Amino acid sequence: MSPDADPTAGAPLPFVDRLHHDLVTEAGIEAHAPSASLFWSAVGAGLAISFSFLAGAAAAAAVPTSWAGLATAFAYPLGFLIVVGGRYQLFTENTLPPVARVLERLDTVPSLLRLWSIVLVGNLAGALVVGAFLGVPGVLPDPVAEAGLAMLTLDAHVPAFAIFARALLAGWLVAGMVWLIHRMDGSATIPVLWACTAVMPLLHLEHVVVGSVEAAWAVQVGVATPALAARHLLITLAGNTAGGVLLVAILNHARTARAHPDRPRLPWRSWLFGLPLPAPHPDTLHGIQGMSHWWLTARGRHPLPARLYDTPAQMARDARHFGASRLVLHRKDGPVRVIDLARHDH
Q: What is the pLDDT of residues 162-212, one digit of tens each?
A: 999 999 999 999 988 887 887 676 678 899 999 999 999 999 999 999 999
- CA atoms of 295 and 264, how far apart (whole Å): 7
Q: Is 7 a member of any domain?
A: no
Q: What are the residues whose beta carbons fall under 8 Å from the beta carbon of 202, sequence distance 6 or more? A: 69, 70, 73
pLDDT tens, 66-116? 999 999 999 999 999 999 999 899 999 887 778 877 887 777 899 889 999
Last residue in a domain, options 212, 228, 259: 259
Number of domains the chain contains: 2
Q: Which amino acid is at 127?
A: A
Which candidate, 2, 13, 1, places its Cα nearest to that of 263? Answer: 13
pLDDT tens, 266-316? 777 778 887 765 555 557 777 777 656 677 776 544 455 556 677 888 888
Question: Which residue segment(s) compose the domain that 289 sits in?
Answer: 278-343
The whole-model pTM stands at: 0.77
Confidence of residue 40 (pLDDT cuts 50, 70, 90): very high
Q: Is 115 a member of any domain?
A: yes
Residues 243 and 287 in one domain: no
pLDDT tens, 219-270? 999 999 999 999 999 999 999 999 988 766 676 666 665 555 555 677 777 7
Confidence of residue 7 (pLDDT cuts 50, 70, 90): very low
- CA atoms of 96 and 24, how far apart (whole Å): 9
Q: Is 101 a member of any domain?
A: yes
Residue 16 has pLDDT above 60, yes or no: no
Residues 89 and 236 in one domain: yes
The confidence score (pLDDT) of residue 99 equals: 82
The confidence score (pLDDT) of residue 301 equals: 44
Residues 46 and 106 in one domain: yes
